[in-house]
Structure formats: C-alpha cells, structure tokens
Chain A
Amino acid sequence: MKALELIDIVYTYSKNTPFEKTALDKVSVSFEAGRINGLIGHTGSGKSTLVQMMNGLLRPDSGEVLLFGKSIWEEPKKIRDVRFKVGLVFQYPEYQLFEETCEKDIAFGPKNMGLDAQEIDRRVKSAAQFVGLDESLLVKSPFELSGGQKRRVALAGIMAMEPEVLILDEPAAGLDPIGREEIFGGIRSYQRSRNNTVIIVSHSMEDVAAYCDNITVLSEGKLFMSGSCAEVFEHESELTEMGLGVPQITRFIRMLRDAGVELRRDIYTVEDAVSAIKEYAGRR
C-alpha cells in the first residue's frame, strides 16, 4: 500500500516576478507504507519543497497529493488533521524547543490533539524511550541539555503525536558518529515497533544506504529515480554528476571490481564489505 502519493506536482516560487523559479516540475513519486524511505538530492533540487507538500504546508500549483489514497486538499479546512497524520521534523529542530521542561515540550503536540492526560503521559514516556532520553531528564529544562539531547527532545515531540507518516529533514546533521547512530537507531526502532512510514531527507549517502529500504532521488526539480539502494547506487556516475555520489565503501568496492576482483555490487556497509572480501579470498 502507498502511504503517500504525489502526482504531477508543479510548484513555482515567486510566480509572475523576475525571481520566478520552478522548484518542482511534474514530479510524480510515491512512498510505500511501513518502510523507511530516503529522499536525496543536491541543494536546490526541490527536496524541501516536496516535503512541505506532503503535510500541506505548501499547496502545489497543480498536481495531487494523496495520503492513503485520499487527496489532502479535498477539504482544505481539514488540513490541520493532515498535519497530525504527517509529522514533519525540520532541520535543527532543537531551535524550536520552548517549554519549561522536556516533558511539557514533548507533550505539546499530543495536548493540541486533544488527548486525555493519561494517554499524553503514555506517549511522552514511550517517545522518550525511543529516542533514548533518560526519564530523569524529562523534568529538566530543555535548555540545560546538550545539543544532541535537545535534538532528541524535539524528535520525541513529533513521535509522541504518533503520526502515520514521519518525515525528518537531516535528522543527524551536525552530530558526531555516536550521536548519528543513536538518532537513526531510535528512528528505526520506532518505525519497526509501530510499522508506520518514515521519510528521511539526507545528504549522507552512507546513512541513507545503512538505514533506508528505498531511495528517491530528485535533481533540479525533477524526479531522477526511485528504487532500492541497489537500484539507485548502481548509477554512480550520474549521481556523482548531480553532486551526490555513492557511499564511500560502495565506491571502494567498485574500484576493487574495476581492478578485477569479482565482488557483489550491492555493498553499502563496512561489515558487508569485509565479509564479501573474506569470502572472495576463501574461494580462491
């Protein structure tokens, strides 16, 4: 089943002015339910514009946005409901924290949804658990926490709304390797337990390869392709040309292949690379 379907989306910024710029040019793309989908593209490729179409922050000039088969603009007055179903976490969401305590901040979304106190409490605790936030931190002010912890509070705030589709724009930007792993691990365990749909926008080919089931590539406002990691990273030269590339390890395996070592192409992690090379050496 498709969670989100965008059909023939056209969007132009500053229409009818000298600054007119077509951000999305007839983009049609869909995102399968129950998966972690990656969305990649160079700066200015239209990723952020596309993401804002998905929960109705922007309305396309033409084209349709379907959420579980239903147009989100069918009843424009109900667009608020769409935003509860499609949760969007912007870049550097920690700058948006504002409450006195972490608990209150995470509870803000669920409260606005009109949930009762008990349910809010359950959701806050469960979201905090997914992002690996210790319960002792919940009573603290978010401004006393480190950058990585703040990021988790902000993420938990959206998770607590339990959206059917969770969209994250560069969730690990600026974090160190351990922080990245923790954030992505949290997103994955959240997705696995609820079996909902996740869309991750990222500039890191390594992260996309390691955590996403499917990848969509945008380039200059158009859809380049959509497919599995194997299908997408097959196109190393085109991806490099559009300013993206493939994971470092995938490139390394390609170099080995070029030098006559017959290895599988679809290798995206260090562990896979090591075991494939070991197996190759054993075969000889």
Chain B
Amino acid sequence: MSEKTPFIKLENVFYSYESDDETVPLPPVLKNINLEIEKGTFVALLGHNGSGKSTLAKLINLILLPTEGRITIDGKDITASEALTEDEVYDVRRKIGMVFQNPDNQLVATVVEEDVAFGPENLGIEPSEIRKRVDDALETVGMSAYKKHSPHQLSGGQKQRIAIAGIIAMMPECIVFDESTAMLDPGGRKEVMNTIEKLNREMGITIILITHNMDEAIKADRVVVINDGVIYMDGTPKEVFSDVQRLRTVGLDVPQVTEVMYELHGMGMPVDYTELDEKKCADALAELLRKKPG
C-alpha cells in the first residue's frame, strides 16, 4: 500500500462518444488515460479544442461514464460493475463541484442568497445550517454585500463568484472549473482567479482548472496537457512552460513574457526563460540590458 491514496485516480481510461450509426463507432476521445490527483492540489488542464479535456472533467464528475477503465474518487471505485445507487452518484457530485463557462446558464434564482442556497437545499440540509453555509460561502467569494441583489444586475465576474459560492455551500472537496473565465473581461478574470487561489490555498479544496489562458495556468501547482486524447505533458508550470518547442508542436501558447525571454535566449542572450514571474523577468532583463558593455 502506498502511504497516500490519491483523491482522484484514473486507470487505463478510454472514452468514446456514442455514434448515430452503431456499425461505425466513433474513435475514442480519451485513450488510455492514467492520472492521479492528490488531495489539495491545484491542477491546470490544458489542451486545444477537441483534445478531450472537457470529456475528462465530465468523467471525474460522473456526468459521463468511461467506455473502458477505472476511476476511483476518494477511494471509491465509481466505475465498478454494479451500478452505483442514486445516493452514491449524488455523493460524488457533491464532493466534486463544477463551474462552467457561461455564468448566465448557472444561476437559477432571482435573489443571490437563494441561488447560493439552491445546492444545499437539494442536499436536504437543515435550514439553520443552510443559512450559515450561504453566509460563509458569500463571505469567501467576497459577495456578502450583494446577498439581496438580483443576479442579473451583476457583472460577469460577480455572477461567476455567485456560481462558485453555490458550489462552496455544498462543501465540496474538489471543484472543476471548465473555462470559467473565458467569457469574462480582464477584471472579472482576476476576481475569479483570486477566488480560485483562495479556495485552494486557504481552504485546501482540490482545484482542476481547464483553461486556454496560459497566465492562469502558471498559478497552478501542476500543469497537465492533453493532446489528441492522451496525456502529452505533466509537470510543474515551470517544467511544462520551459519546453516551449514541445508546446508549440501541438499549437499551444506559452505566456507572452516567456515567449519573449525564450526568443531572446535563442539569440544568445543569457536570460532565464523558465522564470514565470513577469516582474522578476523584467528586473533581470533590465539589469542585463543596462550593464551590457557598450
């Protein structure tokens, strides 16, 4: 027995969507995925459109069941041959919350606090406990002042924070963010990213962040790149983003600053392109440029 059981474990997982024509099955979108995610880690999941990353997220949350292979969540095999009871399915979904791309599709109530209460109400939790959870959740996302507001009057970033509060109120152990910042303006992105970091660092919630934005991915502890249904790269942001060539081969970007540093390095300038902090890069580069003998 290993000393640590991973919170999420995928073993030889395959997934194919159902074909209209039964005689011609569709090719698998996920091929032999093996992945372990420890409790409390912040994982960024990258890959281009159609790479299989959203399918992977849906498997973890039991929205989809794998065609082949085994998935274990918190020690429980959710793909065991005997079907899970409804309660067990709900239990997995409670443990793993999901926040989607479009905030407008996720809010159901006409008052913010009622929206946040929707999840815990459905779990059959005591009203006094619900009250406490709603207040705490709104506090965590910094939206307490808006609890009596109507969600449609909020900005995109605020709406996403309400959607996140609704998930937190169910006390999940892990939250999957499926391109949750894609529709937001830069200010809204920042609000949501700060909230995500806080959930991870202060509350220890496991985070799986699906994004196309490399600046968001560098905030993670670990970056997993999916390409054509297989795990293409897996490492710390520093490890993954310093392999610029390998990322470019599959059409993925690196952060703009990394790109500049990488190009300069290629021209023979002694710069460290594995540094991901913008300010540190600027300071180091400025120092180098200033002291260059004339």
Contacts and interface: CB of A to CB of B under 8 A. Distances in A.
B18 interface: no
Contacts of B287: 259
A255 B284 CA distance: 11
A284 B289 contact: yes
B235 interface: no
A69 B281 CA distance: 50
A43 B157 contact: yes
Interface string B179-211: 100111111100000000000000000000000
Contacts of B260: 249, 252, 270, 273-274, 277
B35 interface: no
Interface in A178-193: 178-179
Interface stretch (A2-10, A152-160, A168-176, A224-232): A168-176
A127 B292 CA distance: 52
Interface stretch (A59-67, A82-90, A108-116, A238-246): A238-246
Contact of B257 (A41, A243, A252, A281): A252
Contacts of B101: 174
A260 B182 contact: no
A277 B264 contact: yes
Interface string B257-294: 10110011001010000000011011101110110111
B245 interface: no
A277 B285 contact: yes
B256 interface: yes
Given A147-B50, A175-B212, A255-B279, A242 B290 contact: no
Interface string B14-39: 00000000000000000000000000
A247 to B, nearest CB: 7
B147 to A, nearest CB: 18
Nearest to B48: A176
Contacts of B259: 270
Interface in A77-100: 91
Contacts of A176: 47-49, 212, 251-252
A261 interface: yes
Contacts of A21: 153
A147 B186 CA distance: 24
Interface residues of A, number: 44
B228 interface: no
A267 to B, nearest CB: 10
A248 interface: yes
A26 interface: no
A105 B191 CA distance: 39
Contact of A178 (B48, B183, B184): B48
Contacts of B253: 177
A256 B49 contact: no
Given A176-B212, A277-B285, A203 B294 contact: no
Contacts of A42: 155, 185, 187-188
Most chain B C-beta atoms within 10 Å of own C-beta, residue among A91, A203, A206, A247: A203
B166 interface: no
A280 interface: yes
Contact of B278 (A175, A203, A255): A255
A148 interface: yes
Nearest to B190: A243
B215 interface: yes
Contact of B186 (A19, A203, A278): A203
Nearest to A243: B187
Given A248-B257, A274-B260, 9 more contacts: A42-B185, A43-B188, A44-B155, A173-B182, A243-B157, A245-B186, A255-B279, A259-B282, A259-B287
30 contacts: A43-B184, A147-B50, A173-B182, A174-B179, A174-B212, A177-B253, A179-B48, A243-B155, A243-B186, A243-B187, A245-B187, A248-B255, A248-B256, A249-B256, A249-B257, A251-B278, A252-B278, A252-B281, A256-B282, A256-B285, A259-B283, A259-B290, A260-B286, A260-B290, A261-B285, A261-B286, A270-B260, A277-B264, A277-B285, A284-B289
Interface of B: 47-50, 101, 153, 155-157, 179, 182-188, 212, 215, 251-253, 255-257, 259-260, 263-264, 267, 269, 278-279, 281-283, 285-287, 289-290, 292-294
